[in-house]
Amino acid sequence: MSTIKKNKQPQSGADEKEEGGSLLQLTAIVEESHDAIIGETLEGIVTSWNGGAAKMFGYSAEEMIENQMTKLFVFQQMTLDIFTQ
């Protein structure tokens, strides 16, 4: 799961509580989504992986986070190569 950070001016306690609640709500939406939601660096390193991605691609977050996105496509290319020969 990724962490969302915002650069803002210091807030009052009430504002921080509201923002924390919004962050928790957003996190729950991403985690419970049936869609694959994947975060990655510009270099293609996976930084976040939700349950939808696990169901779609068959890899857990533990298997994918800190690995290259290309891990997903190697198997697909191998399968394509087999069927086109």
Instruction: For residue 45, give the 3-state DSSP assignment.
Output: strand
Q: Where are the domains of the chain?
A: 13-84
Res. 7: pLDDT tops 50: no
How far does Cα 48 stand from its chain's mean position? 3
Torsion sign over Cα 22, 24, 29, 35: positive
* pLDDT above 90 for 1: no
Give 47-79 pLDDT, tens digit per residue: 999 999 999 999 999 999 999 998 888 665 666
pLDDT at 3: 40
What residues pair up with 39 in beta bridges, in sequence order? 48
Report the alpha-carbon distance of residue 38 to residue 51 in Å, rounded: 10
Domain 13-84, architecture per CATH: 2-Layer Sandwich (3.30)
Provide mean pLDDT across the span 37-49.
95
Average pLDDT, the chain: 80
Determine the Cα–Cα distance for residues 54 and 56; give it in Å rounded to an integer: 6
